[in-house]
Structures are given as C-alpha cells and as structure tokens.
C-alpha cells in the first residue's frame, strides 16, 4: 500500500517537472523572436539592411521588451554598410566573451564581425540553426 502511494507521488512529481519544462520552453520562445528575426535579416542581407529590415530593427530598439544584448545586435546590423561599423567591434566582441550571452547572441555577433557584403557560409549555418531551433 505504501509503495503504491510512493509510486504515485513519484509519477506526479515527474509529470510536474515535464510540465514545468514545457512552460519554460514556451516562455523562451517569446525571448527568441528578436533573435530569430535578426538571424533572418542577416541571412538575407546583401551589403546593408533593406528599408523594411531597418524599420523592423528600429522597432526592436524602441521595444522595452528587447534585451540590452539584442539592442546591441540590432544597432550593429542597422549600421552595416558592406561590412560592420568599426565602432561596433568592441561591443560585439564583449558579447562574444560574456558568460551571460546566449549561444545565439554570440553567433549573431560573430556573423556581424565577419560580415563582408553578406554572411559567410559557416555563419549562414549558425544563423539557420538559430532559426530552426528557435
């Protein structure tokens, strides 16, 4: 009798852990919207952001829900003109080195640093993974 009760408690605990992880995954999805959008912009970008992309990036910069790291990335993408703006190099490198930066933010920063008229093939794969995993 006590064993059955114990097993039921274990099952309920395991189910609640699973449910909690699904809730966390869903809340992370909202955080990744900007990161995914910026990844898509960089993937399609040729030489500089289009007017539509500029508006989308500016909207991110004005949004209070956008993280500081996302704002650094959005601002750096806005200033790309065939290559990164030299003034952004230090802040992008800091994002890459920061322990609290997500892998996606580090990939975006790396892609901007190596941007030369468009993203290179290895950066394309990283950006596609951000979009796919999102």
Cα dihedral across residues 46, 51, 53, 59: positive or negative: positive
Tens of pLDDT, residue by residue over 33-70, are 889 998 999 988 888 899 999 999 999 999 888 888 99
Query: Residue 118: pLDDT above 50?
Result: yes
Query: Residue 24: pLDDT above 50?
Result: no
Regarding pTM above 0.85, the answer is: no
97: nearest Cα among 79, 87, 109, 86? 109
- Say which residues have a Cβ less than 8 Å from residue 57's Cβ, sequence separation at least 6: 38, 41, 49, 74, 75, 77, 78
């Amino acid at each position: 009798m006590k064993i059955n009760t114990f097993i039921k408690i274990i099952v309920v605990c395991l189910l609640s852990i699973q449910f909690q992880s699904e809730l966390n995954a869903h809340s992370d999805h909202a955080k990744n919207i900007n990161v995914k959008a910026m990844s898509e912009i960089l993937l399609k970008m040729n030489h500089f952001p289009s007017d539509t992309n500029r508006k989308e990036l500016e909207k991110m910069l004005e949004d209070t829900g956008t993280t500081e790291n996302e704002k650094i990335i959005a601002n750096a993408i806005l200033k790309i003109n065939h290559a990164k703006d030299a003034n952004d190099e230090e802040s992008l490198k800091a994002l890459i080195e920061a322990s609290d930066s997500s892998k996606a933010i580090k990939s975006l920063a790396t892609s901007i640093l190596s941007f030369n008229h468009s993203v290179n093939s290895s950066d394309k794969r990283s950006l596609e993974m951000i979009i796919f995993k999102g």
